[in-house]
């Protein structure tokens, strides 16, 4: 569930603390979580962090990168050389008290030149970290669709993407090869904001509606970043803390709640492309 705003939250936080550091050591506890030759990045200086859709990238001075995809449950928790997030008992029931250094779902541990550490924690083990050089990274990125908050994300391009597909508009929003960074949360809330039914065929969304949807997507994504991401389930920031967008969802995860427009209707839930889809039958046509 880390989507664009959640990954951006992590990028902003890590960019501050990792820039200029050197990786001293990488401990891989679960092989599938780390792919490639770790020697390529050990001893190399970190220039900064970038993000492409939901992909987080650590850039190194030697034209190598760590590409990181958190998939559904990945976390990156950073502990400085002094602080420990918690002491004591590992695997406490209270999730605030996860002891990341020893926890069973911590799969990769980075140690930096100043002895601070970054823990890759991933309950479902779908996430990964890959060593890729600049050209390979560029090839990966070229597969991604138009990226919100870049020059590419224009109304013209957005309309073109919608016009090209007969699939339900929600699936198009979530297709990373068409629009990068939007997942289930922001697709649901964006469509509600625009008053568009998630099942509508993308190419049948008219000009006026697509303008609304374009602006709404930007709005809900910005809101996500403002609240530090959505932690309805597994997302945590680099301090192990929850985001707060879940307190402000419009329709996502709100089955049976009253419509936020106060129309008196209750939020419905259906399956679309195998994913939970939430909307107001009254306000979204």
Partner DNA sequence: TGATATGTTATCTT
Partner DNA sequence: CAAGATAACATATC
- DSSP letters for the chain: ---HHHHHHHHHHHHHHHTT-BEEEEEESSGGGEES-GGGTTTPBEEEEEEETTEEEEEETTSEEEEEE-TTTEEEEEE-SS--S--S-TT-SSGGG--TTT-TTEEEEEEETTS-EEEEEESSS--EEEEEEHHHHHHHHTTS-B-TTSTT--HHHHHHHHHT--SBHHHHHH-TTTBSS--HHHHHHHHHHHT--TTSBGGG--HHHHHHHHHHHHHHHHHHHHTT---SSS---TTS---SGGGG-SSTT-TTSBPTT-SSPBPEEEEETTEEEEE-TTT--
The active-site residue out of 3, 6, 75, 168 is 3
Q: Does 183 bind DNA (CB under 7 A)?
A: yes
Question: Catalytic annotation on 275?
Answer: yes
The only residue of 69, 200, 219, 226 in contact with DNA, by rule CB under 7 A = 69
Q: Does 16 bind DNA (CB under 7 A)?
A: no
Which of residues 24 and 275 has its CB atom nearest to DNA in the complex? 275
Question: Catalytic annotation on 2?
Answer: yes
CB of residue 43 vs DNA: minimum separation in angstroms?
29
Q: Does 1 bind DNA (CB under 7 A)?
A: yes
CB of residue 238 vs DNA: minimum separation in angstroms?
19
CB of residue 165 vs DNA: minimum separation in angstroms?
6
Interacting residue ranges for DNA, rule: CB under 7 A: 1, 3, 53-54, 69, 71-73, 104-105, 123-126, 165-167, 174, 176, 183-185, 233, 252-253, 269, 271, 273-276
The set of catalytic residues is 2-3, 54, 275
């Amino acid at each position: 569930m880390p989507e664009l705003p959640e990954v951006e939250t992590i990028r902003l936080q890590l960019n501050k603390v990792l820039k200029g550091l050197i990786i001293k050591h990488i401990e891989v506890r679960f092989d599938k979580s780390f792919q490639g030759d770790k020697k390529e990045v050990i001893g190399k200086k970190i220039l900064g962090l970038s993000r492409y859709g939901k992909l987080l990238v650590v850039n190194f001075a030697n034209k190598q990168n760590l590409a990181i995809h958190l998939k559904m449950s990945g976390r990156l928790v950073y502990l400085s050389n002094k602080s420990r997030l918690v002491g004591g008992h590992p695997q406490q029931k209270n999730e605030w008290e996860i002891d990341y250094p020893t926890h069973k779902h911590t799969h990769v541990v980075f140690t930096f030149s100043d002895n601070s550490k970054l823990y890759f924690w991933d309950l479902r083990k779908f996430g990964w970290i890959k060593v890729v050089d600049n050209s390979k990274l560029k090839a990966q990125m070229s597969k991604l669709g138009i990226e919100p908050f870049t020059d590419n994300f224009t109304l013209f391009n957005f309309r073109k993407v919608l016009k090209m597909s007969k699939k339900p508009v929600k699936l198009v929003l979530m297709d990373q090869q068409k629009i990068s960074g939007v997942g289930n949360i922001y697709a649901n809330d964006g469509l509600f904001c625009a008053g568009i039914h998630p099942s509508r065929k993308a190419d049948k969304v008219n000009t006026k509606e697509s303008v609304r949807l374009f602006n709404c997507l930007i709005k809900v994504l910005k809101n996500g970043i403002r609240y530090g991401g959505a932690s309805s389930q597994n997302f945590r920031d680099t301090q192990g803390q929850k985001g707060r967008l879940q307190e402000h969802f419009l329709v996502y995860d709100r089955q049976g709640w009253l419509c936020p427009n106060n129309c008196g209707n209750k939020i419905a839930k259906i399956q679309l492309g195998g994913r939970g889809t939430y909307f107001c039958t009254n306000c979204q046509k």
